[in-house]
Structure 1
Amino acid sequence: MVGIISYGVYIPRYRIKVEEIARVWGGNASDITGGLGVFEKSVPDLDEDAATIAVEAARNALLRRKINPVDIGAVYVGSESHPYAVKPTACTVGEAVGATPNMTAADYEFACKAGTAAIQTCMGLVKSGMIKYGLAIGSDVSQGAPGDALEYTAAAGGAAYVIGNDDPIATIHHTCSFTTDTPDFWRREGQDYPRHGGRFTGDPGYFKHVKGASNLLLEQTKKSPKDFTYAVFHQPNAKFPQKVARDLGFKPEQIKPGLVVPHLGNTYSGASPIGLAATLDIAKPGDTIFVCSFGSGAGSDAFDIEVTDAITSDMFHRNAAPGVEKLLKDPIYLDYALYAKHKGKLVMQA
């Protein structure tokens, strides 16, 4: 059975509160936090980008379990903020963690679901016998134009998953996808910031695709929401995942452990992978986890996951790397000027 061998997360310590962004642009902070359910978001340091975040997340995954890096036969990094338009992030990550040059590597881009698409690819390669381990990462330093609605939630962070079939800590029993040509969000070549279809982001974007993939997985596995201990949905804000969970029949306590967006923001390709990591941080053998990502453009990937006894065995050391809760503690808060500097919105002229 193919599954998760190990996992790791990285979240920068810097934060900006939603009320600070609202102070600059004249918005009502209480309306924003009440509507989105987001109170603050993570901000990358001056020397951090999607590549450095991916490397740190991957290294944390390898801290938790003794894996020979040369056995990693594939590295895929999903992001919509790759530092280079033409220069793969995956090669940098592979070399940084010590993987052999005898590997396949590529960058993925599908808005916020590129990380889960990378997991699916690694699953196929492992199951076919082409590789022993695959490294799938979702990492972003999300963009939001100054004053745009996206700026209140666009955050930084990433999660890495080692996929294999050698005593996985969590077995992935099934996965499926639901995809259509729905251009609710886009960024053209050369543009610094994405644009979005406003009200179309909810429907026919997020809700149609998350429900489509979720219902498809439940139908194919002949399961219902009550068969899962936990559930994780893509979290661009706190409102959307809570609503879609309720509509599908999941209870608030099922999504609570993975709902980290209120104090993290939307990490785009890292959003649902980080939510899954937060759930794995507290999961016990036998727990079942339902996961459904979403990426604008648009599509969703759904997963049926079951935690195994290996998560509490001597081969896996959950405390060897920081969990999501620890990474969210002790933040360093920035004012808007320093935030703009960190995000490259302020550039010193020569």
Structure 2
Amino acid sequence: MDILNKIKARASENKKRIVLPEGTEERTLRAADEVIEKGLADIILLGDPKQIEEESRRLVLKNISRAQVLDPKKHPQKDEYIDLLVELRKAKGMTREEASKLVENPLYLAVLMIKSGDADGEVAGADNATGDVLRPAFQIVKTKPGISVVSGAFIMILQDKNFGENGIMVFADGAVHPNPTAEELAEIAVTTGQTTRNLLSFEPRIAMLSFSTKGSAKHEMVDKVVKATDLAKEKDPSLHLDGELQVDAALIPEIGRKKAPGSDIAGNANVFIFPSLETGNIAYKLVQRLAHAEAVGPVLQGMAAPINDLSRGCSVNDIVNLVAITATQAMGK
């Protein structure tokens, strides 16, 4: 069974409530129908119930009637969510009038449902920009205790099973934070280790990547990775990680033994932490295209609840996969 099927099997064993705020969007509706049919999650659709019904009928969807449909403009808990938003944002001067308008925005309503315990996770972005999806998440759900930075991990499914964990590797950050400090890079390493354990059920072996291996080069960019490695070990002593390592030393056993003798990560890594967003983003796309790897994600990590952002060019299958991943993240939470 491949890794995505394993994730889906776990999701179906303990169904979570996943809210889809883009409830009238065609790909979202098709994905919701498939998720319900396969029993991967309990689906909450936000949108005009009449429009959702008409679209479902037009698309000949057979399972949408089993989703919970919530109208953002009028529903029984609207006043309750308005009160919650005013309380959460009172330090920022949030008025009840402003909150009343925001609660009618499906992206805000979805996050308020999670904060209230009425949903376990959210998937959005098929019809909205990343900033619009994440803004209410940062304002309302916020980050995990002890974590200040949100990052995006990509699950790389390689054809060559000799690399990583039987062909599975995790790359971070490839999606969110452009130039993390040493402290932020350490947090990215810790949360990526947690994502790997929770989502993929194998023990992470984390390489903190650089253009230097164990002092072979001197530069402030190398110093950042060295410091981040030490900080990550302090934050979570249970993690197996090492750095700084060049990518070949992290990936190829004989090179790892030569460049970093005595390291249990060198030549054996299954998780790569990149020193910047540009390096992570370039690397995952190169591996995806040149090695014909499947890149699943980004899986957002560091949030206090599972909230994941889609590409606006996503497919129905992408949404189904991300719903299953979000449901599995919710189990770990």
Of Structure 1 and Structure 2, the greater strand share is in 1
Q: As a proportion of its length, which structure holds more helix?
A: 2
TM-score range, shorter chain: under 0.3
TM-score by length of 2: 0.27
Q: Which structure's CA Rg is the greater one?
A: 2
